[in-house]
Amino acid sequence: MSIVSGEARFQPLFDRWAASVRRRLLARRVLTGLAVGLALAVAPAIVAWRTRHGALRPVCVSLGILGAAAGALVARRKRWSDVDVALWLDDRLETEEAITTAVALPGAAEEDDFRAVVVTTATSALTKADATRVRPTVLRPLHALAPIAAAALVVLARAPLPPAPVVAQAPGEARVQLAQVEGLKRVAKLAEARARDPQQRERLDQIARDAEKLRADLEKGMEKREALDRIAKLRDAIAAERLTLGEGEKRAGLEAAISKLQQSETTKDAAKALGDHDLEKMDAEMERIANAREQRDREEAKRTLEDAAAAAKAAGAPDVAKALEDEKKSFEERERRAEALRDLEKAMEDAGVASNEQKSEAETLDRKGTDEAAKKLADAMGKALEKLTPEQRKKLAEKLAKQAKKGGATQSDPQDLKDMAKDLSTPEGQKKLEDELKDMADADDESAEAQGEGQLGDAEQGADGAEGDINGQGQQPGEGQGPGSGKGHGEMPIPLPGNGGSNDASGDGNGSAGHHHDTGTGPHNGHTNQVDADSLRSRARGPISHAPGMPGSTSGWTPGKNGGTANVQGTGGLTAAAPGEIDGVDHSDVPKEYREQVRQYFQP
């Protein structure tokens, strides 16, 4: 065997073995990377499953592929050199580093006797080498992770996603959707309500717009709490609007008017109602006086209204003055109507054509003095007139003519009586009179301010109704009072002594969560013993003060004025100013009506 042939045989033999060794090392590192990558992929796959990101689960497998690629990269970077492979082969084949020497020793074999011998020895060893002995192991215990992790990934990828956690909604988060909210329509009608001035017109329009917008939002659906919040704002705005008469700089005018009204016993209640900004109540009070039979009271009331209007105007409250003047006009209309009705009723009674109903309504008008009573009387008289025979009509006309000559049974205009008598002389005139009586029955004599106040009240009730509608629909689980016990909420709040049955309405309706309306049909047949006046043992005996309420005062922040300073030193903002400092705080008395309320509260 020549040296050259030995060298020629050694190199390809060595290269083949080296390639085999390197391939196995590469396979091992790729497998290791794959196993580690797949094992790492399990964690994000679990997270994706738990968080119900199902689409991400298969993507996690790419971590395994990445791991395999990383393993290949590492294998390439840590690739064994020829000398490393030779050392490995020498160790496995126990060739005393002959292969290493043959690979590492520089120079050609033919130039070196010793190297030639070494190459021959190495070639011989490689030729006889046993593959199972020489090849590095590929599989490691770590590689067992690969199939386990792959199986886990498959299971995770196929497993159904867990149900979404039930998150308890915060109170009021429930959505509410209402197609029709009648209450908001009533609020929206404020756009057509009478306005005292352009500023109020603008405010009322704004309230109406807000109500319309809320209604539109409710149709689409919105959060209950937001809906309730907006309803509350609407209610606040309406309530504030009811208090705008004579507020702010016009307060003094209002106070002056109230003071004037209080000076008369007749209009004291009206003064109180005005102080409470309850113009409807004031109007009702004036209505009672206007329909009263006593002329002296009516005259005094008219005069007091005139004085109050003048005082309000003088004190810089034209709106209060105008309201009082309107009230006076309305008063006069009512007075005239009541007088006419009374004259006609007197004449009919004298003529013996008055019906029983008419008489009853006339008594009611005298007793209550309300517009309603006057209207009912007019209605009853109209009906009675329809039934008159020509003789009775003639007789009635005569009675009216006689009253006109006397100057009327009341303080009505005698010319009016003459006209009525003349009208009754013909059937057409009678028909005309009947129509006039019907008009009286249908007439609305309320003052303009009272009408506006009534519209605001109606809007406020509408807002209440809308709130009720929303609360009725927007219940959500857990928000109510829990499962009903079947008894409902029928118990009376105050137990009263009774002989029979139970005082609590033990309804047998099926209670349900939330504000279930009680439809219980339990017995309500108990009764309370009659209270004997002699047996009354307790009575409030507090000292009664007939004097006006004690003076008091309130302090509040006022808007700054041009040129004004917060305080004497002029150092700070308006909100830092103390009472008494220039322009800082507006000082005002506690409203008299409030003091009056307090005083009356303690009155027995």
Smaller CB separation from other proteins, 6 or 246: 6
Residues 6+ apart with CB under 8 A from 391: none
Q: Is 312 in the site for other proteins (CB under 8 A)?
A: no
Quick one: tokens of 350?
């004298």
Q: Is 112 in the site for other proteins (CB under 8 A)?
A: yes
Residue 109: CB minimum distance to other proteins, A = 8
Q: Which stretch binds other proteins (CB under 8 A): 115-123, 360-368, 416-424, 518-526?
A: 115-123
Give the closest residue to 123 by CA, choosing from 21, 22, 12: 12
> CA end-to-end span of the chain, whole Å?
142
Smaller CB separation from other proteins, 112 or 419: 112
Residue 30: CB minimum distance to other proteins, A = 17
Q: Is 138 in the site for other proteins (CB under 8 A)?
A: no
* Separation of alpha carbons 105 and 119, rounded Å: 10
| Of the residues 13, 70, 97, 429, which one makes contact with other proteins according to CB under 8 A | 97
| Of the residues 15, 113, 299, 386, which one makes contact with other proteins according to CB under 8 A | 113
Smaller CB separation from other proteins, 84 or 226: 84
Q: Is 87 in the site for other proteins (CB under 8 A)?
A: yes
Q: Which stretch binds other proteins (CB under 8 A): 117-125, 247-255, 516-524, 562-570?
A: 117-125
Residues 6+ apart with CB under 8 A from 534: none
Residue 132: CB minimum distance to other proteins, A = 9
Q: Which stretch binds other proteins (CB under 8 A): 91-99, 344-352, 420-428, 502-510?
A: 91-99
Backbone angles phi, psi at 589, to 5 degrees: -70, 155
One character per residue 478-507, x = contact with other proteins (rule: CB under 8 A): ------------------------------
Smaller CB separation from other proteins, 83 or 151: 83
DSSP 591: P
Residue 162: CB minimum distance to other proteins, A = 43
* CA–CA distances in Å: residue 176 to residues 211, 222, 225, 384, 526: 16, 5, 9, 55, 42
Residues 6+ apart with CB under 8 A from 560: 566, 574, 583
Q: Which of residues 525-584 bind other proteins (CB under 8 A)?
A: none
Smaller CB separation from other proteins, 26 or 184: 26
Number of other residues whose CB lies within 10 A of the CB of residue 168? 9
| Of the residues 30, 116, 311, 459, which one makes contact with other proteins according to CB under 8 A | 116
Tell me, by CB under 8 A, how many residues bind other proteins: 34
| Of the residues 75, 98, 129, 312, which one makes contact with other proteins according to CB under 8 A | 98
In 177-323, which ranges are E strands? 222-223
Residue 133: CB minimum distance to other proteins, A = 7
**Hey, what's the torsion of the CAs at 526, 529, 531, 536, to 10 degrees?**
-100
Residue 69: CB minimum distance to other proteins, A = 21
| Of the residues 32, 100, 123, 262, which one makes contact with other proteins according to CB under 8 A | 100
* Separation of alpha carbons 192 and 188, rounded Å: 8
| Of the residues 10, 17, 49, 88, which one makes contact with other proteins according to CB under 8 A | 88
Give the closest residue to 335 by CA, choosing from 281, 367, 371: 371
Smaller CB separation from other proteins, 116 or 440: 116
Written in H, E and C, the secondary structure of 22-67 is HHHHHHHHHHHHHHHHHHHHHHHHHHHHHCCCCCHHHHCHHHHHHH
Smaller CB separation from other proteins, 2 or 603: 2
Q: Is 115 in the site for other proteins (CB under 8 A)?
A: yes
DSSP 426: S
Backbone angles phi, psi at 86, to 5 degrees: -65, -40
Q: Which of residues 22-81 bind other proteins (CB under 8 A)?
A: 78, 80
* Separation of alpha carbons 447 and 545, rounded Å: 35
Quick one: tokens of 297?
């009271």
Residues 6+ apart with CB under 8 A from 493: none
Smaller CB separation from other proteins, 115 or 337: 115
One character per residue 154-183, x = contact with other proteins (rule: CB under 8 A): ------------------------------
Smaller CB separation from other proteins, 89 or 261: 89
| Of the residues 29, 57, 92, 235, which one makes contact with other proteins according to CB under 8 A | 92
Give the closest residue to 491 by CA, choosing from 460, 464, 526: 526
Residue 71: CB minimum distance to other proteins, A = 15
Q: Concatenated DSSP letters for 282-335?
A: HHHHHHHHHT-S-HHHHHHHHHHHHHHHHHHHHTT-HHHHHHHHHHHHHHHHHH
Residues in contact with other proteins by the rule CB under 8 A: 2-3, 6, 78, 80, 83-84, 87-88, 90-92, 96-98, 100-101, 103-105, 109-110, 112-118, 120-121, 133, 136-137
